Chains A and B, each alone.
Chain A
């Protein structure tokens, strides 16, 4: 076991994957000498050179589109989108091309490529630097959509994503980049599995990315008041690990989904609908959502009024118990 920050865990994953497989490439904006604006690609340029660690022109559609071509030629590109809000210029390439290629070729051609997206708020940034766009991609068939909530999962989910024959979008919680944690020597779960990070009996909190920590904080506070909350890090948003979600819901009978994505048609909406369809009558309360409000991301000095925090999670748990 090694203790690393989440950022370093991603960095060591890239180092290891590139050392292991010469087809793995890193491409993006400022990923070379600078090592990326968050330093996730630090040291790769020196270790693997400018042909495998490519500073690309500043055009996200172009970066993703050329990554498609590289994947077609047999490479395994790992694309860095600099900030969440910058993913939208690449939306056509991701939704129509990357996600659709296998189906458009009747399964002949899959694209082994990874798109890393630092996402989420709480970093005091200007607009377009704090978004949570994951639901757009969950809505798109043909993609694996992942998010990491700990250094261990950051490292191993990225390694597994690079080995996956199909395209993966990895949403990295940028506000948690510098939180430390143990990184194990091997993956202990498949890429598509959720992880129970805190077992509990009384209610289930479903989280991913930055809200895993939020929910653990809420669970600790609830424990002091005698409530035993289970926290599940979903890790995979597409496909969702419904087996783990259902099993937990069946035990606790109360579910709260927590994310920084907006509430309307966010991941929580889909989870609530599925639990409603699959477990109607066996829960003690409706599935509740703690999410960002359905407005534009606000100026940074009031972002804490926008983002879910432990207090809002606990309030939702109280409301769940009031049914």
Chain B
């Protein structure tokens, strides 16, 4: 991809940590925000490392690794505003963490100890959709609602829908793009192209770069280096501003899933190590770490302190996981619907009665 290649992603920080300029987009944050982004990426990566290990130890049923995808997530966290709303995927857990979703709530989902139990109103993070691509429609509807509440010409809160390259083939995602364009909804689509949908490469989803799909729907599309937190912040920030002004836009975050799809997956069966090694050299954390060291915004002492903080955080993640309470079965009845009716009430009673009288498996011995 040459400099004048339109498919070349917007980049403001090179893999070796050098700042570069882009004629259209500029990093507008300050030094503090740069350090915050590095910190958030490190926390996100540590959460991921711990999550994968907890799954291996049988503490979690499943874990979807996010390694390599911390960059755009930190970029979004830097520019999202308190009134905005994010409909993310389960691979955006670094973003969810940065937005205030609790570790316990994230782990509960993967431990089988709960559903998406965090407060979406307070955190501005919607429940994760396990059916991929089903939530961008919710984001568009949400944005239509925001637009309906609009008085005058002032800015409105933005709604952000993230989905993957695999989900880009889903009918719901394409309907979401059609509806957003037709209704002129104040929504940002962020298509996270991490190159792989479990074992299927992005070439099995699309003959064109995914950001170019936007043009057919009549909305702007742009590709950003998803491993560059500065470019992520600049481009998503621009996109959010466009949504705040009332219009939809699509950003393709070009990145790479360094790990497996989930802990149930084995990438060795479908992809070689070479590409992954290339992408490892584009690591989002390493490039910002180098840049901040080069510019003196952090030093070895800061990094050592950060390591200690990450170790504490990791210990906290492990302890939090093991201390999670299961959600008792009666809550499946109680949280289903406001007015369940007599039959379901009786079924609930039957269920609890059975559980209180049935012998435990251990009793049979």
A interface with B by C-beta (< 8 Å): 25, 51-52, 54, 56-57, 59, 61-62, 65-75, 77, 89, 92-93, 96-97, 101-110, 141-144, 164-166, 192, 238-243, 274
Contact = CB atoms under 8 A, between A and B. Distances in A.
Contact of B175 (A65, A97, A110, A238): A65
A65 B338 contact: no
B144 A96 contact: no
Given A96-B134, A144-B339, A166-B339, 17 more contacts: A59-B175, A65-B175, A66-B141, A68-B138, A70-B142, A72-B120, A72-B145, A92-B131, A97-B134, A102-B338, A105-B115, A106-B117, A142-B337, A165-B338, A166-B337, A240-B341, A240-B343
A106 B114 contact: yes
Contacts of A105: 115-117, 120, 127
B175 A239 contact: no
Instruction: State the main secondary structure of chain A at its contact with B.
Output: mixed
Interface in B329-357: 331-332, 334-344
A75 B143 CA distance: 12
Nearest to B150: A51
Interface string B100-124: 0000000000000011110110000
B120 A69 contact: no
Counting from the closest, the 8 A-B pairs by CB-CB distance are A69-B141, A65-B137, A239-B341, A73-B145, A66-B141, A62-B175, A107-B335, A69-B142
B146 interface: yes
A57 B344 contact: no
Residue from B141, B149, B343 whose CB has the most chain A CB atoms within 10 Å: B141
Contact of A69 (B116, B119, B139, B336): B139
A71 B334 CA distance: 21
B145 A59 contact: no
Contacts of A57: 175, 178-179, 182
B178 A62 contact: yes
A165 B183 CA distance: 26
A104 B127 contact: yes
Interface of B: 114-117, 119-120, 126-127, 129, 131, 134, 137-146, 148-149, 171-172, 175-176, 178-179, 182-183, 327, 331-332, 334-344
B134 A106 contact: no
Nearest to B335: A107
B171 to A, nearest CB: 6
Contacts, number: 151
A1 B119 CA distance: 46
A142 B137 contact: no
A69 B341 contact: no
B145 A192 contact: no
Contact of B141 (A68, A166, A240, A241): A68
B134 A92 contact: yes
Given A239-B344, A243-B342, A66 B172 contact: no
A89 B179 CA distance: 15
Given A57-B175, A65-B175, A67-B141, A110 B338 contact: yes
Given A93-B134, A106-B335, A65 B127 contact: no
Residue from B175, B339, B340, B341 whose CB has the most chain A CB atoms within 10 Å: B175
Contacts of A192: 339, 341
Nearest to B332: A103
B146 A73 contact: yes
A271 to B, nearest CB: 11
B137 A68 contact: yes
Contacts of A92: 131, 134, 172
Contacts of A106: 114-115, 117, 327, 331, 335
A144 B343 CA distance: 13
B342 A70 contact: no
Nearest to B119: A108
A104 B344 CA distance: 18
10 contacts: A62-B176, A62-B179, A68-B138, A69-B137, A70-B141, A73-B144, A92-B134, A102-B337, A103-B332, A109-B127
Nearest to A143: B337
Contacts of A239: 339-344
Contacts of A103: 115, 332, 335-336
B336 A142 contact: yes
Nearest to B341: A239
Given A65-B175, A93-B172, A73 B340 contact: no
Contacts of B178: 57, 59, 62
A62 B337 contact: no
A57 B179 CA distance: 7
Contacts of A69: 137-145
A68 B142 CA distance: 8
Residue from A72, A109, A141 whose CB has the most chain B CB atoms within 10 Å: A72
Contacts of B142: 69-70, 72-73
B131 A51 contact: no
Contacts of B127: 101, 104-105, 109
A104 B141 contact: no
B138 A97 contact: yes
A242 B343 contact: yes
Contacts of B337: 102, 110, 141-144, 166
B243 to A, nearest CB: 14
Contacts of A165: 338
